[in-house]
Amino acid sequence: MEKRRIGSLEVSVVGLGCNNFGGRLDLAQTETVVDAALDAGINFFDTADIYGKTLSEEYLGKLLGARRNKIVLATKFGMEIDENRKGARPEYIRQAAEDSLRRLNTDHIDLYQLHDPDESVPIADTLGALNELVQAGKVREIGCSNFSAEQLREARDAAKGAKFVSVQNEFSLLHLEPVPEVLPECAAEGLAFIPYFPLSSGLLTGKYRKGKPLPSGTRIAEGSRWLEGDVLDKVEKLIAFAEGKGHTILELAFGWLLAHKPVASVIAGATKVEQIRANVGAVGWTLSEAEVAELSGLVG
C-alpha cells in the first residue's frame, strides 16, 4: 500500500479509526478488526482516550503485543473523560500521556494529538508540555485536531520546541470546510492533514440511497444530522459520477481525499472485516485536476 508522511512517520494511505473499539465492538470483535487491518497492510491506527470511555486504548494495549512496532500508533487527549480529566493544561497533559501509555501498553506514542483547542490555556503552554514529552522519548510527533487555519498559525508562532506536524479535521465530499483555508495552510507549512468522518458516517459507501429505506443496524437514523438538506441528492450525483468513470462511490470518496496532497491517511472506522477489505480495495483511483474541479461543482 502507498505510504505518506506525517512528520517523521510513514503511514499507510488507508488508516484505521478506532472509535468503535469499546463501544460498538467488544474485545473479541475488536481483535477481529485489528487483525484484518494488519493483514491488509494498514499500519496507521488512530484512537483517543475518550473512545469507548478509554476502552479503545485498553483494547489496543491488550491486542497489539509484539505487533506494536509494526504500526504507527496515534491517540488524542483533551476532550472530557470526566470532570478531572479534560483540557490542555500542562499538568493534565503529563497525566493524560502517562494514562494513555499505560492503557496502550507501550513506552511511546507515535502521534499525540490535542483533540480540541482549549481556549482557556495559552497554546505556548500546551506546546511546552508536549515538547517535554517529545524530549523524554514518550512521544515521537505531536498534532492537533479541530483547529482552524488561524489557530494553526498561532501554534506555529508560539512553538519553541516541538511543533504540530498534523491536523485532523472533518473532511469528505460532503463536508468541504477545510478546503478554502486549512488545506492551503497545511500545504504552505508542510503539515499533514488527516480527515475524519471521510465516508460521512457511511453515506459515501453507497448503502444509503434516495427513496429507499435506511439500512437496519446502521449508525444513521431518521432525523440524523447526516441526512439534513439535499445530502442524498448529492450522494446520487456522486454515485452517477463514479459509475460513469467505471468506479464505485467508495473508490471516489478515497480517491478524492487523496487527490488533496496534504492528506496523509484516510482513517475510516470499521466494525467488520469486510469493511476493512473494501476500504483498502477502494484505493487506486488517481483523480485528475479536472475531475477534482468537476466534483467541486457537484457538491460545492
pLDDT at 77 over 90: yes
For 85-116, what is each residue's pLDDT tens digit? 999 999 999 999 999 999 999 999 999 999 99
Please give the average per-residue pLDDT across 36-62, as a whole number: 97
- Report the first-to-last Cα separation within the chain, whole angstroms: 30
Residue 144 C-alpha cell reads as 492537533
Residue 124 belongs to domain spanning: 3-299
Read off the pTM. Answer: 0.94
pLDDT at 223 over 70: no
Any catalytic annotation for residue 51? yes
Total domains in the chain come to: 1
**CATH number for the domain that contains residue 187:** 3.20.20.100
Residue 107 C-alpha cell reads as 513506552
pLDDT at residue 42, rounded to an integer: 97
pLDDT at 216 over 90: no
Please give the average per-residue pLDDT across 239-259, as a whole number: 96
For 140-157, what is each residue's pLDDT tens digit? 999 999 999 999 999 999
pLDDT at 215 over 80: no
Catalytic residue among 51, 59, 92, 196: 51
